[in-house]
Amino acid sequence: MRHLAIICLLLLCSTPAFAQKWTREKGAPPAPATEAYFGRVGAIIFNTLVPELSKQPERLSGAVRVALLIDRKGHVQIQKVVSTTSNRWVRDTALRVVRSVKLPTMPGQVITEQGHEPIEFQAEWSFERHD
């Protein structure tokens, strides 16, 4: 049980904002609505993923990166999950979560800032056990 508590603590301390990545073109104006929306999307995925990964803490190691195309209704059109290690279980669990998660509708300001939709979202999280 102590191991599970440590894993959960590590996962909860790894905030989605820390790991999320998105890029704007050089010289592009700030995009606060996009950043806020990405923060929400990352938090939803992360908070859904943690309980699933915590079910088998002995298999928990590695990193997982998700890349999504999200439309204005919050539907994921394309999802790609890449485990940056050889941990197929982490990758498969993340893919299952991404396929089932319900994302919020994209605010109109995000589409205005981006100039198009769907928009690309990427996030990466690292997980490890401490015995």
- Over the stretch 2-39, which tens digit does the pLDDT of each residue have? 343 334 334 433 433 334 455 556 666 778 999 999 99
Q: Which CATH class is domain 2-19+29-127?
A: alpha beta
Q: What is the largest CA-CA distance in the chain?
A: 50
Q: Is 24 helix (H, G, I), strand (E, B) or coil?
A: coil
22 closest CA partner among 100, 94, 113: 113
Residues present in the chain in total: 131
pLDDT tens readout for residues 52-104: 988 988 888 888 888 999 999 999 988 888 767 778 888 889 999 999 999 99
Measured between alpha carbons, how far is 10 from 86 in angstroms, rounded to an integer?
Answer: 21
Domain ranges of the chain: 2-19+29-127
- Where are the alpha helices (H) located in 55-107, listed in sequence order? 88-100
Cis ω before 118 (30° cut-off from 0) = yes
